Structure 1
Amino acid sequence: MQLSIVVPTYNEAPNIEELVRRVAAATRGMDVELIFVDDSTDATPDEVRRVAASAPVPVRLIHREHRRGGLGGAVVEGFEAAAADICLVMDGDLQHPPEEIPAMWHRYRHGDVDVVIASRYSGGGTSGGLADNTRILVSRTSTALTRAMFPIRLKGVTDPMTGFFLVDRRALDLATLKPRGFKILLEILARKNLRIAEVPFDFADRYAGQSKASLRQGFNFLSQLTALRFGKMSLFGLIGAFGAVANLAIMWGLTHAGMGYVLAAIIAAEVTIVGNFLLQERFVFQDMKGDASGVWSRFAKSFGFNNAEALIRIPVLAFMVQTWHISSVVAAAITLVVAFFVRFMFHSLVVYAPRRAEESARVRRLVNELDAQAMTPGEL
């Protein structure tokens, strides 16, 4: 068996026959199997059995009475049951086009990667199958937040939230996976350093049925993300909270000494910006400094961004005080909470982003050239 295709399903009965037909057509000439890991409460299991009886490829069904780990748990069970070591995961609603399977398989066959990700945001990929602009915004934001939390592990990964990927299960330690939702790829990438490649794909419309996206799934995702990256974000949050308290204390002291609240907010912001940077360097991003730009470059980026953020935040603070007539300290506290998330994403993705090898090489060449010119004999 060359490839095991794992399809976690939940009430996807109308899509089963078309999915099997298109997978079989796309993988003609390949030795593949389809494994449906099903958590459905409708007729999906019966439909899988009916289609399997005449399918041109082997079709297996694992129907779970207890849905442990949600969709992610279903994928792990599919990995464990697969006949092939190379497993491809895709949704059962045909938003992941089966026609892309050969491209993913051939990319893996190059032999230099453990995971091939079908990306909506790489090359010619598109996310047109998302229902509306709100879901597109949610998808983009959650992707950016995820990459901010794992800037090293997800370096070069444009779509860590996709459910369409191929992986060599021999590169994984299935026992260490703790699936708690529907973003199993994130779980895989966050827990182990893997060699990754991407291929673009067009995220299609659902063939039939209703989307399973919900507010509850959004909370599950945030819970999963926090659990995976708890250490770094919690430290950033702790320093941010300390900085916020210091900011408010400085502002309170200055306003009670007779200074206007706008000037007091500016001074408090500048002091805490410098203090937060020093603490983040020491306690939060110390593991990323070696691959990032120099300390003065990091400071310039951090200082510049935080001042730009303050230029936006302080007028908002003034608007809240003058228009809504709330305490200046309370208004500052509200704006600082919102600013926390924006700051974390910027520092992870920009300030401490790993330098690209070609940039480092150019800098080294420039330094060497300047050094050579400086040491060349000449006339005064």
Structure 2
Amino acid sequence: MTGDRVDVSVVVPTYDEAANIAELLRRVDAAVGGPATEVVVVDDSRDDTAAVARAQAPSLRSRLVVIHRAEPEGGLSGAVVAGLRAARGRQCAVLDGDLQHPPEVLPALLDALEGADVAVASRYTAGGAAEGLSGWLRHGVSRTTTLVTKAMFPTRLHTCSDPMTGFFALDLDRVDLDELRPKGFKILLEVLVRRRRRIREVPFAFGARTGGSSKASLRQGLWFLWQLVDLRFGRMSGFALIGALGAVANVAIVSALVALGMSFLPAAVIAAEATIVGNFLLQERFVFADLVASADPTWRRFLRSALFNNTESAIRIAIAWWLVAHGVLHSAIATAVTLAVAFVARFVFHALVVYRPREGGAVPAARERARV
């Protein structure tokens, strides 16, 4: 393990992290540093992060490579891919430059690569924690986006509790960098869903930021949504289309029955039951067909779907009835608005619960299909 040989590379994407980079490099070197380790800093900063990083080189046991991108492409994901392309080690770990990813977890993360393609440092597995997220809103956004993402890729992410983390390690011999199309800031999601990976998880506590400022923004959120649409447009759009058809049918049935003299409440109940059955049949055929073979029997899927949808409908109808009874909205508008709000909850429940793989069940080859 001497000379030019590199066994482990640690990629650190940075953006205005001058306040943190020296401490981060010191802790990375203490955790995994040595003559066969390199640290690749890919810097997109407007401050002097790159200069501060280079100044640490004499004090490190590891080889330090600093790449400053004057014209960054692909955002944070692009920086990570650039670092992976420059890395010389077969085992490669990635962590952010803000010290919220503790470098002391790196040895366990690299050990977890034995027998796996990707090792994921998870906030949401047993022993993990996400206290470093600032405020209830960030916690809520993180949990919600994780659930929605897992719902969109229920097979590929079945064994991953935290696909949104930026702290992971991979075996570069088992990942084709050319198939990645980095954009936004969730490169691990890109790696995991392009093809099936053997995943192992290591718990970690997401720390509080001690210097610099968070890079989370509305723009990053929009990039994330675009990434999701790009990676899994097919399933989500199919569910949305069937949901839209069901919503139109629901509104039409309610309007027709009210016009015929029926009061709103029974009309809404009849419309809901009709669309629940119709939506389930269409989803089975066109949206979740590739998940059916490894899921529970049809009657159990229908029972779960019907129970959830009826519970959701009862709550939704009660809200819509109140809006109509108090003159807040017209019956058709109240129905349409509450149906739109229920869409995300229905999709998450069906993908993660109704069609979840049976324990120990085989995953059919059809589920290997790529993005639509």
Q: Is residue 14–residue 41 contact of structure 2 (8 Å, CA) maintained in 1? A: yes
Match among 65, 72, 78 for residue 70 of structure 2: 65
Alpha-carbon displacement from aligned partner over 1:156-214 (angstroms, at most 9, x marks no partner): 21100000000012212211111111000001101110100001011111131111111
2:366 equivalent in structure 1: none
Which residue of structure 2 aligns with residue 168 of structure 1?
171
Distance of 1:300 and 1:96 partners within structure 2: 42
Give how far 1:358 is off: 8.2
The Cα of 1:324 is off from its aligned counterpart by 4.7
**Is 2:317 aligned against 1:314?**
yes
Task: In structure 2, give the amino acid aligned to 1:180.
Answer: K
8 Å contact 1:7–1:37 — kept in the other structure?
A: yes
Counterpart CA distance in 1 for 2:75 and 2:50 is 17
RMSD: 1.3
| 1:21 is aligned to 2:12 | no
Aligned match for 1:237, one of 236, 240, 256: 240
For the pair 1:106 / 2:117, whether they are aligned, the reply is: no
In the TM superposition, residue 321 of structure 1 has moved relative to its aligned partner by: 1.5
Deviation at 1:32, TM superposition (A): 1.1
Superposed structure 1 runs of 4+ greater than 4 Å apart: none
What do the CA deviations read for 1:289-326 (whole angstroms, capped 9, x no partner)? 01100000000011111000011000100121223531
Match of 2:87 among 57, 65, 82: 82
Separation (CA, whole Å) in 1 of partners of 2:327 and 2:263: 18
Count of matched residue positions in the alignment of Structure 1 and Structure 2 = 357
5 Å matches for 1:45-64? 45-64=50-69
Q: Structure 2 length normalisation: TM-score?
A: 0.94
Closer, same or farther: CA 28–35 of 1 in aligned 2, 3 Å: closer
- Quote the Cα distance in structure 1 between the aligned partners of 2:7 and 2:125: 26
Give the 3 Å change call, closer, same or farther, for CA 310–171 of structure 1 in structure 2: same
CA contact (8 A) 2:33 2:60 kept: no
SS of 2:301 mapped into structure 1: helix
Unaligned runs of 5+ in 1: 360-380
Letter in 1 for 2:150: R
C-alpha distance in 2, partners of 1:132/1:96? 18
* Equivalent-residue separation in structure 1 for 2:290 and 2:306 (angstroms): 20
Q: Which has the larger radius of gyration?
A: 1
Alignment gaps of 5+ in structure 2:
1-5, 363-372
Say if 2:264 and 2:331, in contact at 8 Å, map to a contact too.
Answer: yes
Q: Kindly tell me: are residues 189 and 358 of structure 1, through their superposed partners in 2, closer, same or farther at Cα, counting changes over 3 Å?
A: closer
**What percent identity do the matched residue pairs reach?**
54
Return the TM-score normalized by structure 1. Answer: 0.92
What amino acid is the match of 1:112? G
* Alignment check: 8 A CA contact 1:88 1:166 kept: yes
**Are the counterparts in 2 of residues 2 and 30 from structure 1 also a CA contact under 8 Å?**
no
Residue by residue over 1:15-55, the C-alpha shift from the partner in whole angstroms, topping out at 9 and shown as x without a partner, is 11101111111114572111011110111111112122432
User: What's the CA shift for 1:128?
Assistant: 1.0
